[in-house]
Amino acid sequence: MRLFRSNIFLWCLGIVLAVQVYLSFEIPVAGSFGDAAMLSMSGVQDVTPVKATLVSVDSGFARFSDLYGDSGRVYVTDRSYGTYKSSRPGDVLVMSVAYDRSAKGFDLVEIIRENPAITFPMIQGLGELGRNMLFHVPMSMVAFLAFLLGTIYSVLYLVKKNHDYDRRARASSAGGFLFTALATVTGSIWARFSWGTFWNWDPRETSIFILLLIYAAYFMLRSLLEESEDKKARIAAVYNIIAFVSVPFLMFVVPRITNSLHPGGGGTEAPLLNLSGKTHTAPSLGIMFEISTLLFFIVFLWMKDLVTRILRIHDKRAEAL
């Protein structure tokens, strides 16, 4: 592709990518006072980040407009009383608070951010782990697109018999394999902190494992064949197309109808990829998710382009010998 020959474009991509990755961690996750009370009462965590608008600071406590019942007061402790002094009524504060069950109020632990431009929502049961939605989900989406692209190139090869399509198919499938592996690793880390273990053969984990096996078999087939280049390319293209038939089943169908802990399993609606085509998450996270997907996809396209060109040089040298 032409675009990747431009150094300016590549540097922009690199810098935007780094900024996006940094922001994915830097933007604070904040819920409501209701979240904080619920998490504390259910024993999940005592201290929760909360986002609310400051109404007034009296001698005893501060009032916020995001009220939880009639007990939506943040008690100002001696230690942190001074921190409110810089904030004026009307300021939006992100602060970590602890629920005080006996007083039915909240103790301020610390102020995290004043008037933040953007915050991530507190997702039920995820908290800070929700940030992984900006890595794990885009990676698996890019992986699917890569396999789709690889299959399209395989079909094009069989139709046009141009070896360049074969190289592109190989490069796309390799990129898809890499992104599937990355999605597996990030998913496994997520599972460790959400479900308790790195790997427990949840239907979703089983299907991604089989997906990796399919493409491992594809590359193995390719390396085991000792035929002419034409024949090799034809056999590999046919296998690639057959293999892709089971990819949608593994990625979308089987984990959706079986009982899975993964969102979207067992008939529940997944928050980002679902049949109704809606995104069930706050717009801030949704936009960051879309930017992430786009950036990872461009990175994949660049990788595909690089591998294709390396293969082209390789084949050219083999021909010259």
Residues near other proteins (CB under 8 A) are: 4-5, 10, 13-14, 17-19, 21-26, 28, 158, 206-207, 210-211, 213-214, 217, 220-221, 224-227, 231, 234-235, 238-239, 241-243, 245-246, 249-250, 253-254, 257-258, 299, 302-303, 306, 309-310, 313
Instruction: Name which of 301, 296, 289, 299 is nearest 23 in CA terms.
Output: 289
Give the residue with the Cβ less far from other proteins, 278 or 314.
314
Q: To which H or E segment does residue 137 belong?
A: helix 136-160
In whole angstroms, how far apart are CA 214 and each of 15, 18, 43, 175, 249?
35, 32, 43, 14, 13
Give the residue with the Cβ less far from other proteins, 29 or 36.
29
CB of 140 to other proteins, least distance (A): 17
Q: To which H or E segment does residue 29 belong?
A: strand 29-30
CB of 98 to other proteins, least distance (A): 17
> Do 262 and 202 contact (CB within 8 A), yes or no?
yes
CB of 62 to other proteins, least distance (A): 22
Give the residue with the Cβ less far from other proteins, 149 or 211.
211
- Token reading at 227: 């035929």
Dihedral pair phi/psi, residue 63, rounded to 5°: -105, 145
Contact partners, residue 59, CB within 8 Å, separation at least 6: none
Give the residue with the Cβ less far from other proteins, 258 or 281.
258
Give the residue with the Cβ less far from other proteins, 20 or 71.
20
Helix pair angle (136-160, 163-194), 10° resolution: 160
Q: For tokens 């038939």, name the residue.
A: 245
Give the residue with the Cβ less far from other proteins, 104 or 222.
222
CB of 159 to other proteins, least distance (A): 10
CB of 236 to other proteins, least distance (A): 10
Give the residue with the Cβ less far from other proteins, 17 or 273.
17
Contact partners, residue 27, CB within 8 Å, separation at least 6: 116, 118, 119, 120, 284, 288
CB of 41 to other proteins, least distance (A): 26
CB of 147 to other proteins, least distance (A): 13
Contact partners, residue 60, CB within 8 Å, separation at least 6: 75, 76
